[in-house]
């Protein structure tokens, strides 16, 4: 089975998760940042990573995701919001929509440090879309700590489950 991990990372968060996932995948498994990633057509399983930008996978990840067809796929991403929030669920739905003609074996999201330039833009828009409430500030401060070791272990566990699903799917029928 040929495996590829493709990730887009702005602050290093998603790359960190990608490398943790790579460590538990059957080897050889290829790993590429999205800018250097080859056509996914030669692979059986694609682990696709993105950072969330404006409620969806970032533009570079979206473009690559549109090139993946008829594959087993696992999604992973990082975002500044709480990973179990409605916002995170919506982001994941948008990611799944981009790869809907594939077999999605699972997904994983965790918090990640927000690029300071994005926080600066959010502060300028504070009265319009992103008021800097005490709750928002606390979430941003918490995001600074992620992805942490627990997040990386959770990502590995999620992808181990996906690999189990893939193995069952590919197992020969008993006669």
Is pLDDT of 34 > 90? yes
CA-wise closest residue to 92 among 80, 113, 77: 77
- Position 105 scores a pLDDT of 97
Q: What is the mean pLDDT of the chain?
A: 91
- Position 138 scores a pLDDT of 86
pLDDT in tens, 64-119: 999 999 999 999 999 988 899 999 999 999 999 999 999 999 999 999 988 877 76
- In this prediction the pTM is 0.90
Sorted by where each begins, the domain ranges of the chain are 3-112+147-170
Is pLDDT of 175 > 70? no
**Cα–Cα distance between 111 and 14 in angstroms, integer?**
10
Burial zone of 12 (CB within 10 Å; 0-12 exposed, 13-18 middle, 19+ buried): middle
**Cα–Cα distance between 142 and 1 in angstroms, integer?**
38
Answer yes or no: CATH 3.40.50.300 is held by domain 3-112+147-170.
no
- Strand boundaries in the chain, DSSP class E: 3-7, 29-33, 45-53, 56-57, 72-79, 103-111
Please give the structure tokens belonging to residue 113: 């440090």
pLDDT in tens, 7-27: 999 999 999 999 999 999 998
**Cα–Cα distance between 76 and 92 in angstroms, integer?**
9
């Amino acid at each position: 089975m040929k495996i590829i991990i493709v990730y887009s990372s702005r602050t290093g968060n998603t790359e960190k998760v990608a490398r943790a996932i790579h460590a538990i995948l059957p080897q050889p498994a290829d790993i590429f940042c999205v800018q250097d990633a080859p056509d996914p057509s030669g692979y059986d399983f694609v682990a696709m990573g993105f950072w969330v930008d404006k409620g969806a996978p970032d533009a570079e990840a979206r473009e690559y995701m549109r090139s993946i067809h008829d594959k087993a796929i696992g999604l992973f991403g990082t975002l500044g919001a709480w990973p179990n929030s409605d916002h995170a669920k919506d982001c994941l739905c948008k990611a799944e929509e981009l790869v809907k003609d594939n077999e999605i074996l699972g997904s994983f999201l965790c918090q990640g440090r927000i690029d300071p330039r994005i926080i600066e833009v959010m502060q300028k828009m504070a009265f319009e879309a992103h008021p800097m409430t005490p709750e928002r500030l606390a979430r941003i401060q918490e995001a600074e700590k992620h992805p942490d070791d627990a997040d990386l272990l959770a990502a590995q566990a999620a992808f181990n489950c996906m690999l189990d699903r893939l193995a069952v799917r590919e197992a020969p029928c008993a006669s």
